[in-house]
A and B are shown apart, each in its own frame.
Chain A
Amino acid sequence: MIPAAFDYARPRSVDEAVRALADAGEDAKVLAGGQSLMPLLRLRLAIPDALIDLGRIAALREIRDDGDAVVIGSMATHHQVIRDPLVRAHLPLIARTTETVADPAVRHRGTFGGSLAHADPAGDLPAVALALDAVLLVRSPRGEREIPAAEFFVDWMTSALEPDELLVGVRVPKLGPGWGVHYEKFHRTAQAWAIVGVACAVRRDGDSVAEARVALTNMGPAPVRAGAVEDAVRGRPISDDSFRSAGGHAADGTEPPSDLHGSSEYRSHLATVLTARALAAAAAA
């Protein structure tokens, strides 16, 4: 398949990129690693007037320590994220989840920022960003803006980014000691998207759960934070019974889609089973 014609810009700096995006108008698309956008272009499901290719902006690939947080440049590749010592030390949930994304070829090109900005509810990383209370760092001709993950994922493939706004990085708070993490991904083949995924972090206090954060992949038009599960498991003893009972709330208030790989009803069931398993695995980690 061959994309429809488009204008193309390959800026060398963030300033240039912001300008290029503003100049290109409403129907421009930002090209990061291209692993989601290129197929859409080739199938002519996306027909933008212009592409702004961020591939030559080295500054956007940086991952740096920011005190009690780590800032991941929006163009850091999945491969880079998986191997980065800061991410491995402070954000193991991101490292482990990213290891489950697609295949090595995709992980060498696909980017952390790209998969968040794409806002695909079947993508793994949006739920992780939500569970970790990440903050998305945005630039536009109007200046800088910070968007909490909880406000970023608006709808199916729709983020809070304005047409002239560029995602430049993501600030993710470090999890302190006592946290265990797990991403439970359920998919039919290794390279397929998650039918349901559960991103989970549990802080232990002795034999009980002090605090848990749970977010779900592909359980609605946007990733969702499973607040009812978090409430139900807080303060409960670390046991299969607690997790099973808390997991039972996983589908509360969700609107899971029906598609070729699973009906809405099945997804609701899966969410409860997988959430119980994710809590158990995180608590044991």
Chain B
Amino acid sequence: MTVQEGRAEVGSPRKRSEDARLITGQTRWTDNLAPAGTLHVAFLRSPFAHARITRVDTSEAARSPGVVAVFSGADFADEQGSLPCAWVVTEDMKHPDHPPMAVREVRYVGEPVACVVARDKYAAADALEEIDVDYEPLPPVVDMNEAVADGADLVHEELGTNKSYTWVFENGDIDAALRDAPVVIEREYVQQRLIPSAMEPRSVLCVPEADDFTLYSATQIPHILRLMLATVTGIAEHRIRVVAPDVGGGFGSKLQVYGEEVLALLLARRLGRPVKWTESRSEGNMTVHHGRDQIQRLTLAAERDGRIRGFKVDLLADMGAYLMLVTPGIPLLGAFMFNGIYKMDAYSFTCTGVFTTKTPTDAYRGAGRPEATYAVERIMDELAAELDLDPIEVRRRNWIAHEEFPYDTIAGLTYDSGNYEAATDKALELFQYDKLRAEQAERRERNDPVQLGIGVSTFTEMCGLAPSRVLGSLSYGAGGWEHASVRVLPSGKVEVVTGSSAHGQGHETAWAQITADRLGVPFEDVRVLHGDTAISPRGMDTYGSRSLTVGGVALYAACEKVVDKARKVAAHLLEAAEQDLEFSDGRFSVRGVQQEGKTIQEVVLAAWAAHDLPEGMEPSLDSDATFDPDNFSFPHGTHLCATEVDTETGMVKIRKYVAVDDVGKVVNPLIVEGQVHGGLAQGIAQALFEEAVYDEEGNLTTTTMADYLVPSAADLPEFTTDRTETAATSNPLGVKGVGEAGTIASTPAVVNAVVDALRPFGVKDVPMPCSPERVWRAIRDERKPETAEPGAGGGLGSAGGAQ
């Protein structure tokens, strides 16, 4: 191989070429698409968390002005099928039917019960109020602990239990570790339920043409969606084309096969007209799948010097009312991560999936790994406090040293590479750790009403989902490969087709950078195509920080194939042996005879004209490649957070945040920076702001942005970000993925900092989100009687941002 390593494109902080279009509104959001004659759909949704449907009367609504048709679940009972769950995690997993539109029973507030199809969306919304539904209320099941207790009210009567499955992993003698270790720490943490808040709401448009259907959807997974729509409806796969136009974010929420997508297809078929549905924000908050929602019971056993002996994890994971695409598998992605970056003798993981009468849960940025990372990073700080050790020191005593890689972890993974020392050293320096510790001591000394806390998170994660054989061993319903094809046009321009489906990640820029380097063509000469099953027929789509580590490597391999073909043609044209050619900066030349050569564009044109090709060569340099990784990739990093906590009001402000991430080789540092910033915002949001709250009747009370607090830039600090670069050894690009790292790392860093600020008060935990009232109550519950009364001294006036 004589291809030279990239000139300038890979590693260059190019501004994203898609952004000008995206931010000036020259986009194709699904809701912007309006073929002639499009009908508009509105859904009537259950106001009850749990009820039997005894009657649905649509006759009045059907007579409303502008209404074309009104349907209840019963009208589609024979053809709507059951929404798919592709991850059967145990042989005896309880897996209830999930009709796209409820027929006999509703099991969460917001579940679709009926729909109106009208000539415009206004008529559809008005007619919804004319549908008459009789419900017979059934008991809601809101609390997971109550749901698994004997005699609990059941979400699905026919299952006889609210437990979907119990999944166990054990390695080493956990009982011995817990029995023999001198230090045993037990904690219970709650991962609150979160609502993924993509900027673009869900939207779907289905256009019928005779027996064929084109379904446009704001989805992360056009390829999987196409297969699943075919499976659910029985419409043949080759009759369905799925297009993901510009998609404005997903964070996992659009890694789903939604009932509204299935019904759009069925309505288009039944009515023979294009139909469109776009959710409102408050509708979306109720019905987009939610994330997290676990109760974690943790037991950590350690020696007095801080070395971990064993870690026992017992989870209850809220599935919500039904199992959706990968619902049951999400907490199990965490099973391999609760050990973090640490060595230990024994590990035990048990997870029980629990049905409740709430919106189903599924993947949300990080998906299982933030929950695991939170647990281990929080309890490492508790161990440090228990042993009166610095939290950095207790981690040093346990982490895998850089010379120990590749390392087989207690959870059964092989970490291929990493350097926790380097990332931590860099973070400590940027943070000015010792200086802040000194300030903390000084504030404690003078009983400052505003205390300083420092939180540590030395995280890793598994991404690049995923080796297909591993997915198979976990009973996942599909593989984890990714596909790319490179089409070289006669003019020398290049079209790259990727099976990964961008929805904000910047593929169009990064993929062009890789291609420009590998083929030696200008960046501007590359166009990246994706998100349409007619253009990109093979793909596994975008989630799990997989695009670059799997799809990018497929592209790399496809480019190599193009160069190999071009080399044959060039050798023929130059009348030289292939092995005597070198390829550099887009030009083939005979080694030692630089003046004789052919540019790749000349070779492309010659291949297309086909006037004089080598024997047996097809007249095209186009190439395809599929990459299936041997292993996951393991980004890691050290995040440090300093919070100021107003002990009189409970207000938390982030004073300083340092993130040093090791995501391996970087294609575009600006995109990496953006991913880290966005991830930090989402992780901090879990720590301080966001929570989906249900009342006792099972009503979601956080349906609007006034109640579900998504922080804005004004609420977040300035981030100090940096990187170390330890190449992944499991792929030729050395890349690891960066889509989820910030979210995974930051939540425990922030909560550790809040708790650290309050250690002098005896506080050991503050439940998430650490709202001012929760912080205040944590202090008040522990406060010694002699401490000072609230004062007029300067505190923290408002929301959690930096100064």
A153 located at the interface, meaning its Cβ lies under 8 Å from any Cβ of chain B in the complex: no
B798 contacts A186, C-beta separation under 8 Å: yes
B791 located at the interface, meaning its Cβ lies under 8 Å from any Cβ of chain A in the complex: yes
A2 contacts B122, C-beta separation under 8 Å: yes
Could you say which residues of chain B place their CB within 8 Å of the CB of A13? none
B712 contacts A244, C-beta separation under 8 Å: no
B795 contacts A273, C-beta separation under 8 Å: yes
Known: A188-B799, A191-B712, A260-B701. A1 touches B280 (CB 8 A): yes
- Within 461-497 of B, Cβ neighbours of A (below 8 Å) are at none
Known: A240-B793, A272-B790. A189 touches B702 (CB 8 A): no
Secondary structure at the A interface, as helix, strand, loop or mixed, is mixed
Known: A244-B792, A260-B701. A190 touches B772 (CB 8 A): no
Could you say which residues of chain A place their CB within 8 Å of the CB of B712? 103, 189-191
Query: Smallest Cβ distance from B537 to chain A, in angstroms?
Result: 38
Query: Smallest Cβ distance from B120 to chain A, in angstroms?
Result: 10
Could you say which residues of chain B place their CB within 8 Å of the CB of A42? 280
Contact of A188 among B282, B704, B771 (CB under 8 A): B771
Query: Smallest Cβ distance from B709 to chain A, in angstroms?
Result: 5
Give bound CA distance, A261 to B691, whole Å.
11
Query: Smallest Cβ distance from A262 to chain B, in angstroms?
Result: 5
Chain A residue at minimum C-beta to C-beta distance from B780: A269
Give bound CA distance, A262 to B801, whole Å.
19
Contact of B711 among A1, A189, A261, A280 (CB under 8 A): A189
Q: Interface size for chain A: under 10, 10 to 19, 20 to 34, or 35 or more residues?
A: 35 or more
Interface string of B780-803 (1 = CB under 8 A from A): 000000000111111101111100
Query: Smallest Cβ distance from A232 to chain B, in angstroms?
Result: 13
A244 contacts B798, C-beta separation under 8 Å: no
Could you say which residues of chain A place their CB within 8 Å of the CB of B689? 188-189
Give bound CA distance, A277 to B793, whole Å.
7
A195 contacts B280, C-beta separation under 8 Å: no
Query: Smallest Cβ distance from B684 to chain A, in angstroms?
Result: 12
B648 located at the interface, meaning its Cβ lies under 8 Å from any Cβ of chain A in the complex: yes
Known: A186-B798, A244-B790, A280-B792. A191 touches B649 (CB 8 A): no
Give bound CA distance, A43 to B286, whole Å.
14
Query: Smallest Cβ distance from A115 to chain B, in angstroms?
Result: 15
A12 located at the interface, meaning its Cβ lies under 8 Å from any Cβ of chain B in the complex: no
B389 located at the interface, meaning its Cβ lies under 8 Å from any Cβ of chain A in the complex: no
A192 located at the interface, meaning its Cβ lies under 8 Å from any Cβ of chain B in the complex: yes
B706 located at the interface, meaning its Cβ lies under 8 Å from any Cβ of chain A in the complex: yes
B693 located at the interface, meaning its Cβ lies under 8 Å from any Cβ of chain A in the complex: yes
Could you say which residues of chain B place their CB within 8 Å of the CB of A280? 792
B442 located at the interface, meaning its Cβ lies under 8 Å from any Cβ of chain A in the complex: no
Give bound CA distance, A1 to B201, whole Å.
12
Chain A residue at minimum C-beta to C-beta distance from B685: A189
A240 contacts B799, C-beta separation under 8 Å: no
A101 located at the interface, meaning its Cβ lies under 8 Å from any Cβ of chain B in the complex: no
Could you say which residues of chain A place their CB within 8 Å of the CB of B702? 260
Chain A residue at minimum C-beta to C-beta distance from B790: A273
B121 located at the interface, meaning its Cβ lies under 8 Å from any Cβ of chain A in the complex: yes
B706 contacts A192, C-beta separation under 8 Å: yes
B797 contacts A243, C-beta separation under 8 Å: no
Known: A2-B121, A188-B709. A244 touches B651 (CB 8 A): no
Chain A residue at minimum C-beta to C-beta distance from B708: A260
A276 contacts B792, C-beta separation under 8 Å: yes
A260 contacts B126, C-beta separation under 8 Å: no
Give bound CA distance, A22 to B281, whole Å.
35
B430 located at the interface, meaning its Cβ lies under 8 Å from any Cβ of chain A in the complex: no
Chain A residue at minimum C-beta to C-beta distance from B651: A186
B773 located at the interface, meaning its Cβ lies under 8 Å from any Cβ of chain A in the complex: yes
Could you say which residues of chain B place their CB within 8 Å of the CB of A189? 689, 709, 711-712, 714-715, 799-800
Query: Smallest Cβ distance from A211 to chain B, in angstroms?
Result: 19
Could you say which residues of chain A place their CB within 8 Å of the CB of B798? 185-187, 190
B776 located at the interface, meaning its Cβ lies under 8 Å from any Cβ of chain A in the complex: yes
A240 contacts B121, C-beta separation under 8 Å: no
Give bound CA distance, A272 to B693, whole Å.
28
Contact of A276 among B125, B701, B790 (CB under 8 A): B790
Ranked nearest first, the 6 interchain pairs of A and B with the lowest CB-CB distance are A190-B714, A276-B792, A2-B125, A240-B792, A280-B792, A243-B792
24 contacts between A and B (CB under 8 A): A1-B282, A2-B126, A39-B704, A186-B651, A186-B772, A187-B798, A188-B689, A188-B772, A189-B689, A189-B709, A190-B712, A190-B714, A190-B798, A192-B799, A195-B772, A240-B791, A243-B792, A247-B790, A266-B776, A266-B777, A269-B776, A273-B795, A274-B649, A276-B791
Residues of A within 8 A of B (CB): 1-2, 4-5, 39, 42-43, 103, 184-193, 195, 240, 243-244, 247, 260-263, 266, 269-270, 272-274, 276-277, 279-280
User: A190-B714, A277-B797, A279-B792 known; 17 other A-B pairs, CB under 8 Å?
Assistant: A1-B282, A103-B712, A186-B772, A186-B797, A186-B798, A188-B689, A189-B709, A189-B711, A192-B709, A192-B799, A260-B693, A260-B701, A260-B702, A263-B773, A273-B648, A276-B792, A277-B795
